[in-house]
């Protein structure tokens, strides 16, 4: 019984904190996407247009995310029934957008006009607990080629 109450409290607290952080993060993401709109990202492999390129270099943005207890609990239940793990979707959406934002911030700081050949990669970080079988979190990496065009 005490276990059950502990579980419920843990679920409630992690749900509320998770919700709060998610809202805050989405607000920040939206604001920064607006701000960084002038730094164009494209998945094209070559520079569109015919302005000469004066500088090009790798730009990256990386985010490591993990789950809160509430999301992990829902995913655990989902593993029994099957279907979309809805609890994870906003988390990964946040991570991808945050990674792209960091990449664009880097590009802007170096004075690039655009990032071409942008790619996203995800890798799983093994957890030290449960013999490395569990997942501590995932890293989302956004990378591309920052391009500075001639004025």
Partner 1 sequence: MKATPRLPDDKVNLPSSHPLSDAAQLIAGVAGIGLVLFALIAYFVELALWLLPHESEAELAQTLWPMEAAATEQDERQQRLQALLDALAEGWEDNPYELQLRIMDDPQPNAFAAPGGIVLVTEGLLELSESENELAFVLAHEIGHFRGRDHLRGLGRGVLFQLVLASIGIGGGDVSLLGKTGLLAGLSFSREQEREADRFGLDLIQRHYGHVAGAGVFFERLAQDDPISARLPSFVSTHPGLEERVVELRKLARKRGYQLEGQEEPKL
**Contact status: 102 vs partner 1 (CB under 8 A):** no
Site pattern 2..21 for partner 1 (x: CB under 8 A): -------------x---x--
> End-to-end alpha-carbon separation of the chain, Å?
70
Give, as ranges, the residues between 34 and 93 that touch partner 1 (CB under 8 A): 34, 37-38, 40, 42, 48-49, 70, 74, 76-81, 84, 86-87, 89-90, 92-93
The single residue listed with the structure tokens 């449960």 is 130
**Helix or strand run (H / E) with residue 107:** helix 89-109
- How big is the chain, counted in residues? 151
Q: Least distance (Å) from partner 1 to the CB of residue 124?
A: 18
Closest separation in Å from C-beta 68 to partner 1: 11
Positive or negative, the Cα torsion across 139, 140, 142, 143? positive
Whole-angstrom distance, CA of residue 122 vs CA of residue 108: 24
Provide the minimum distance between the beta carbon of 131 and partner 1 in the complex, in angstroms, as a whole number: 13
Query: What number of chain residues touch partner 1 (CB under 8 A)?
Result: 29
Q: How far is the CB of 115 from partner 1 (least distance, A)?
A: 11
Q: Are strands 114-126 and 135-149 parallel, antiparallel or unpaired?
A: antiparallel
Least CB distance to partner 1 at residue 139 (A): 18
118, burial (CB in 10 Å: exposed 0-12, middle 13-18, buried 19+): buried
Interacting residues with partner 1 (CB under 8 A): 15, 19, 30, 33-34, 37-38, 40, 42, 48-49, 70, 74, 76-81, 84, 86-87, 89-90, 92-93, 96-97, 114
């Amino acid at each position: 019984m005490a276990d059950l109450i502990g579980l419920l409290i843990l679920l409630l607290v992690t749900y509320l904190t998770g919700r709060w952080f998610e809202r805050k993060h989405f607000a920040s993401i939206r604001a920064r996407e607006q701000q960084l709109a002038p730094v164009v990202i494209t998945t094209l492999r070559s520079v569109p247009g015919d302005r000469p390129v004066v500088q090009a270099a790798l730009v990256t943005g990386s985010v490591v995310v993990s789950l809160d207890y509430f999301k992990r609990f829902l995913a655990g239940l989902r593993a029994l029934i099957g279907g979309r793990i809805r609890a994870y979707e906003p988390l990964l959406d946040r991570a991808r957008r945050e990674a792209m934002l960091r990449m664009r911030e880097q590009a802007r700081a170096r004075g690039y006009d655009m990032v071409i050949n942008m790619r996203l990669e995800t890798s799983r970080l093994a957890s030290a607990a449960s013999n490395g079988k569990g997942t501590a979190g995932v890293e989302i990496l956004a990378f591309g080629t920052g391009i500075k065009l001639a004025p």
